[in-house]
Structure 1
């Protein structure tokens, strides 16, 4: 059997039953990976031709059907196939780790958002925009995005209280300074593409600002010269947070342009009013050659994806890890 890898234009013989990620790595094909267990999504690639057997959850046979995406670490080769992977300049490889950390700060950012800061004796290697799984107790486990950069000596997370939420209720009502937290990661594919030199669109809804802050902080620290337009959408002015961080970043990075959008029309507001996706749609008619980072609730991410595509951004250049609220 022959596996053809695109866009590198290479081909090599493999055996039925081989793991796709292991085949790519054995043949020197650059591919992102982290957990190797089907959880993080980092090794996601596009199946263009042929079939693979996906072993994540219930095993299923997947064929392209117009371009199916599969996780390389969970894909077993069953026949000749063509696989398209991200460009080599977008590859990241942060082996997943489990760290023991402790709470060094819990601060109120808004009426329902807290800033959680953790300290670990060992650093967590990650790319800006990725997330980790936080385990506060065996019964309180949830994913949250890092808001800082890998060079920081602490890990920063923004946590919104979900009504009836068991995990967020624990964080707000029980968690205290000095408590131990288990950190597993990194995970996620919406990380900063450092070699892209064109314009960047960042759309954040609510605590989706955390990974966007990580991306903008990293781009600023790296002295990237890309024009960056950051749209931050919330329900009301009471839900706006991080304004001082955004102002400070804009002072340090002349290429950063911040747009705060609130959904409710309040007397005397200094923010734009409406849906954040409508603001993007009104501001831009052509986004070809841009990259987009979308972070927030699934409906916002889905609407933003449609707008980005309609304005000319290719799907492979739209990076998103939607936030799913859960009472668990």
Structure 2
């Protein structure tokens, strides 16, 4: 029996949590889990001391000129010992077959990503779920867009030196990876809770908009055109637009196995599409993970403590 290719799983986090336990339990001989933190976290170090050498703490340090997530991924890639790399986030459940699923995906398709389903934790985030299903779930599934929360690739799939150099001067890790690798999406979805307060949801909206602005600027034009058409249709033909948008969103939800009432918000979200887009573009800063970012251009980022 052929032994599976070893993988290095890179997990940025702020402390030891369920995701660490879930992934560590799935490691095979030769694999490693790199728990990446900004600083040495005693609770993480204590838990790792009780485990075999396949789980390591990587201290990334404070980011300078990039996001904390980008800094953590770069530090993890530098420290990783395997050529096959898996990126993960710590904010969703990793079932027992998660890592083996990504192994099989790579053998079959090469660089591969799973698909997120973003579920709101506060009223505004729940109201905006249809936009996340379209721009997060559907776009990742159909557009060859990587999701940094669950993907696999090998170092030879990218120009690693150039990628790491660029990663240390930008915000979006997966937005940048999209420019370096051809990613295949698989049908598996992972439920990810986002938001928690209205302010946090608004900050996320700004960040998501600016990722598209800097990595796919033509998509911003497309969003503006589509948003304008939808808004006009909703205003001029409110009842047909309400029925058609709700039915179409219900179909998208069903296609991805999303059983949430929030598809009913498709009509008001369509009315708000242009204001939301404008808000994300006009805001000069956003907060993410306790830091305030000013994203001047793709590779020009200022970071401040929040």
TM-score band, normalised by shorter chain? under 0.3
Q: Which has the higher contact order (CA 8 A, sep 6+)?
A: 2
Q: Structure 1 or 2: larger strand share?
A: 1
TM-score scaled to structure 2, two decimals? Answer: 0.28
Q: Structure 1 or 2: larger helix share?
A: 2
TM-score scaled to structure 1, two decimals? Answer: 0.26
